[in-house]
Structure 1
């Protein structure tokens, strides 16, 4: 499947990660600022979400 380039509000990304619909490991950041923001969202969202079983997401958040 092909990649698509989109822009999405950080609050929506956090909501999707927290709900388990999206994993930070599924995303590829195009710049350093976005990567830092995603890392922070991942840490925050994973704290709010108990029982995340996605190994790749856990590695991304650590």
Structure 2
């Protein structure tokens, strides 16, 4: 999952909560790669956390 593409995708939204970032990250992954495995869910959570940290959403 390209971090740059993900961040560009997420920047299009206004998030009301941190959980919404994770939902949008999951949506991006499904659009790009299909249904995630358990290991993919861990990666999705990590990428969502990276985005929240980078954008000061924590």
Q: Give the TM-score of the pair, scaled to structure 1.
A: 0.46
Task: Point out the structure with the larger helix share.
Answer: 2
Which one has a bigger Cα radius of gyration?
A: 1
Q: Give the TM-score of the pair, scaled to structure 2.
A: 0.48
